[in-house]
Amino acid sequence: MSYRRRHVKTKIYKLRKSGKPIIKKPVFGIAVLFLIVVFAFFYAVIFFPYFQVKNIITLGSEKTQDKDIQELVYSQISQKIISAGNWKLESKSIFLVSSKNLNKEILNKFPIIKNVKINKRLPQTLELEITEREPLGLFCNSKDECFLIDQSGIIFESSLKISNNMFVIRKLADSKQVFVGERVVAENIMAIISKIENGLKNNFQINIEEVLVSNPLRLDVKTDEKWQIYFDLSPDSDINMQIAKMNILLRDEILEKDRKNIKYIDLRFKDKAYYK
């Protein structure tokens, strides 16, 4: 056997002899320590009682019962971690609460709620800032089923009777069934209606009694003085110009004492305004 072969074998033997079991190597201890830290962190985040949600605070809710909101939240925050047959392991850790999903569930369950901001107050509290919808008027369908409707055109609560303090919005030849939480009038049309209402009430002490959205191109407004105003809603129309023409007519030409004698004001033509 040559010197070279003996020399190589001797080195290999020494390496094998000097090798330590894996459990005695420093890297093994570091790995075990890392796993312990990860497990402890996992346990603290998911199961440690100190971080389990126990308090739900609601702010800003006036028409919605706090206990109803809290019951829904409690039913949604329980997360199933492991399940096998009838056995399951659940957690209500504040770190696992999905604000996005919880927000969606609350808005679906309570149409009267316009917005909810969810704040996590460590270690055990969820704070819900509620913004409820404010009615702009009533929406009534062809069956005279009426609902409160807000600025964005969403109906959020049924109403058994028509209030004297609110105007009614109707859609011509609209017989489809509507549901609470649904947008029944486009938001831009609701903004126009609101602008017309404010202008009539603030400038001339005239209230709106009923609004008819006959189609996407026309809006008929009936006042509490029993005469009407016709607006053009086509894409190329200028609603601000139409409102300006209305204001000029009511301020300079149709005096308050004469309003009881008119039947309508027609503002649908660009350069002219008619009344009868």
- Specify the pLDDT at position 165: 80
pTM: 0.79
Looking at every residue in the chain, the average pLDDT score rounds to: 86
pLDDT at 17 over 70: no
* Contact in structure between 73 and 106 (CB atoms under 8 Å): yes
Burial of 39 (0-12, 13-18, 19+ CB in 10 A): exposed
Reported confidence tier of residue 15, pLDDT bands at 50, 70, 90: very low
Q: Give 122-167 pLDDT, tens digit per residue.
A: 999 999 999 999 999 999 988 888 999 999 999 999 987 777 688 9
Reported confidence tier of residue 56, pLDDT bands at 50, 70, 90: very high
pLDDT at 274 over 50: yes
Kind plus residue range of the DSSP H or E element containing 12:
helix 3-18
* Contact in structure between 155 and 184 (CB atoms under 8 Å): yes
Reported confidence tier of residue 8, pLDDT bands at 50, 70, 90: very low
Reported confidence tier of residue 97, pLDDT bands at 50, 70, 90: very high
Burial of 105 (0-12, 13-18, 19+ CB in 10 A): middle
Find the mean pLDDT for residues 180-191.
94
Distance CA 61, CA 224 (A): 33
Find the mean pLDDT for residues 243-271.
93
* Contact in structure between 167 and 210 (CB atoms under 8 Å): yes
The encoded tokens of residue 60 equal 């800003």
Closest CA to 218 of 176, 177, 250, 171: 171
Reported confidence tier of residue 74, pLDDT bands at 50, 70, 90: very high
Reported confidence tier of residue 198, pLDDT bands at 50, 70, 90: very high
Reported confidence tier of residue 247, pLDDT bands at 50, 70, 90: very high
What torsion, rounded to 10 degrees, do the Cα atoms 251, 137, 171, 228 define? -20
The SS3 assignment for 197 reads helix
